[in-house]
Chains A and B, each alone.
Chain A
Amino acid sequence: DGGITQSPKYLFRKEGQNVTLSCEQNLNHDAMYWYRQDPGQGLRLIYYSQIVNDFQKGDIAEGYSVSREKKESFPLTVTSAQKNPTAFYLCASRQGSNQPQHFGDGTRLSIL
């Protein structure tokens, strides 16, 4: 779906640094989600937000933080507290409770 944009496509981080991944959508979707994809493990939910200025932890929130100041934006910060940050990160959004989630292209984060 061209309406969900994740940037950058590739990101490198030095140990001890925080890094922020961008997710923007122009679909006017209320709910947004962040997932982490690791080989052989499928996708795991990090954080989600149902409305502006509100978000909840998912299954693996430790070492991550988010904000939802605008409906169209849901940035994810990978902090230095995340011990194994190397992964592929996917952002998704959804309009109503009966609608499926739509995904962005993802950001691949690597540690230098």
Chain B
Amino acid sequence: AQRVTQPEKLLSVFKGAPVELKCNYSYSGSPELFWYVQYSRQRLQLLLRHISRESIKGFTADLNKGETSFHLKKPFAQEEDSAMYYCALSSGSARQLTFGSGTQLTVLP
């Protein structure tokens, strides 16, 4: 069965510092991975998907099949990046998502 692990429940960094949110997965097939973000009092929204290989709000994520990881990175964190971040893996005929437990990122001034 597929599994997504986010080892850090809480992560705090100072503004301007680099940030990396870790995500590891286990899946027997070819993975499709996403990062979703939930800002305070807002709905869950898509941040990144690995197949698009784009940078959104300065965030990037690279799929490393050898390490089965999909870590989210940003070189210079901003206070508005403070939010809950979820890594998710899509599988099955209905492309249902398996989520990690989430990482609450706080960017300190």
Interface residues of A (CB under 8 A from B): 1, 31, 33, 35, 40-45, 48, 50, 56, 58, 90, 92, 94, 97, 100-106
Contacts and interface: CB of A to CB of B under 8 A. Distances in A.
Given A40-B101, A43-B99, A56 B94 contact: yes
A21 B109 CA distance: 40
Contact of B95 (A56, A94, A106): A94
B74 interface: no
Contact of B44 (A40, A48, A90): A90
Contact of A31 (B9, B46, B95, B99): B95
Interface of A is mostly: strand
Given A50-B94, A56-B94, A100 B46 contact: yes
B43 interface: yes
Max chain A C-beta neighbours (<10 A), residue from B9, B34, B46: B46
Interface residues of B, number: 22
A87 B36 CA distance: 19
The 10 closest A-B pairs by CB, nearest first: A42-B99, A103-B44, A43-B99, A42-B101, A105-B43, A100-B46, A50-B94, A48-B94, A42-B102, A103-B43
7 contacts: A33-B96, A42-B102, A45-B98, A48-B94, A58-B96, A100-B46, A103-B45
Given A44-B99, A103-B36, 9 more contacts: A31-B95, A33-B94, A41-B101, A43-B86, A48-B94, A97-B95, A101-B95, A102-B45, A106-B43
B96 A45 contact: yes
Contacts of B43: 1, 103-106
B81 to A, nearest CB: 19
Nearest to B4: A42
